[in-house]
Amino acid sequence: MAEASVGIVVIGNEILSGKVADTNSTFLARELREAGVELRRVTVVPDEIDQIVEVIRDFRERFDVVLTSGGVGPTHDDMTVVAVARALGRRVIRHPEIEQALRAFYKDKVNSAHLKMAEVPEGAELIRGGELRFPVVKIENIYLLPGIPQILEDKFHTIKSRFTGTRYHLRAIYSSKGESSIAQYLDETLAKFPALLLGSYPRLGDPEYMVKVTLESRDQAYVEQAFAHLVGILPEGTVVRTE
C-alpha cells in the first residue's frame, strides 16, 4: 500500500499578522513524522471564506488526508466549518449530538454563539475520545481541528492511531566542516543511495559543529548502509559525532 500523504491548512489572521506564532503545524509535523506519515504541504490562509474554500478544495484532491487548524469557535471570525462545507458542496447543519453536549454543559446559559459550535458539514463523522469534552469532526478526508494549541493537541491524540505508516529511521552526522566542504561527499552518497532522504543543516556560531547532516529512510538497512558509506568517505576530522 502507498504511504498516506497529509496536508495542513492553518486558518488565522493572527498568524499572518504576526500576533501569534503557528505552533500547531510544528506539533503536527512532529507527530506525523513519528507515525511514519508524510506531511507534504502546510498553507496558512486568512479568515476569509473564499481563501479557505480554495485551499481546502486543492488539498483534499492533492493529499490523502487534510488537517485544518483554527476557525472553529463561536465568533464571527470562525468560518472553517462553512468553508469546508462549501468546498465539499455540502450544507451546514447543527449536529444534534453536539448540540445536546453543549446544552448539557452550558445549561440555561446556552446561547446562539455556543450553538454555532454544534454546526458541522452535513454527513460529518464525530470521533470521541476519553478526555475530550467535544468530539473531533471529520468529513470525507478532512479533520477539523481547533486553533487553541492545548485543545488541538488533545484532539489529535484522540485520532493519532488513525495515522500509521512505515516509520522513518534517522541517523545524523555532525560535521566540523561547512556545507561547501562536504557537499561533494553528500552528492556521492546520494549517487549511491538515490532513495535516501539526505538533509544538510548549517548552524551558525556553534563551537561544536558547523553542519548537521541527517540521513533518513523507511528502510533501516538502507539508511545504515548510507550512513556507513558517508562516514567512511568524509575526510578525517570532519565527523564530530553521530546519532
- Which residues of this protein are in contact with a copy of itself, per CB under 8 A? 13-23, 25-26, 29-34, 39-46, 51, 73-77, 106, 111-114, 116-117, 148, 150-151, 168, 179-184, 186-187, 190, 197-202, 204-205, 214, 216
Measured CA distances, 71 to 148, 228, 231, 237 (Å): 10, 47, 48, 52
> Rounded to the nearest whole angstrom, what is the least distance from the CB of residue 154 to a copy of itself in the complex?
11
Least CB distance from residue 225 to a copy of itself, whole Å? 18
Q: Grid coordinates in use for 125?
A: 463523522
Kindly tell me which of 106 and 123 has the beta carbon lying closer to a copy of itself: 106
The CA distance from 96 to 191, in Å, is 58
Rounded least distance, CB 123 to a copy of itself, Å: 26
Closer CB to a copy of itself, residue 151 or residue 233?
151
The grid coordinates of residue 128 equal 470521541
In the bound state with a copy of itself, the residue whose beta carbon lies nearer, of 96 and 109, is 109
Which residue type is seen at 200?
A: S
Considering only CA atoms, which of 131, 170, 120 is closest in space to residue 153?
131
- The set of residues, in sequence order, having a beta carbon less than 8 Å from that of 5 and lying 6+ positions away, is 37, 38, 39, 40, 62, 63, 64, 65
- Using the minimum distance from each CB to a copy of itself, give the nearer residue, 90 or 153: 153
**Residue from 84, 159, 93 nearest 122 by CA:** 93
Query: Rounded distance, CA 72 to CA 123, Å?
Result: 17
Sequence letter at residue 233:
I
Report in angstroms how near the CB of residue 25 gets to a copy of itself at its nearest: 8
Residue (22 or 119) nearer to a copy of itself, CB: 22
Rounded to a whole number of angstroms, the minimum distance from the CB of residue 6 to a copy of itself is: 10
State which residue, 89 or 237, has the beta carbon closest to a copy of itself. Answer: 237
Within its chain, how far is the Cα of 145 from the centroid? 11
> Cβ 33 to a copy of itself, closest distance in Å?
4
Output phi, psi for 56, to 5 deg: -60, -45
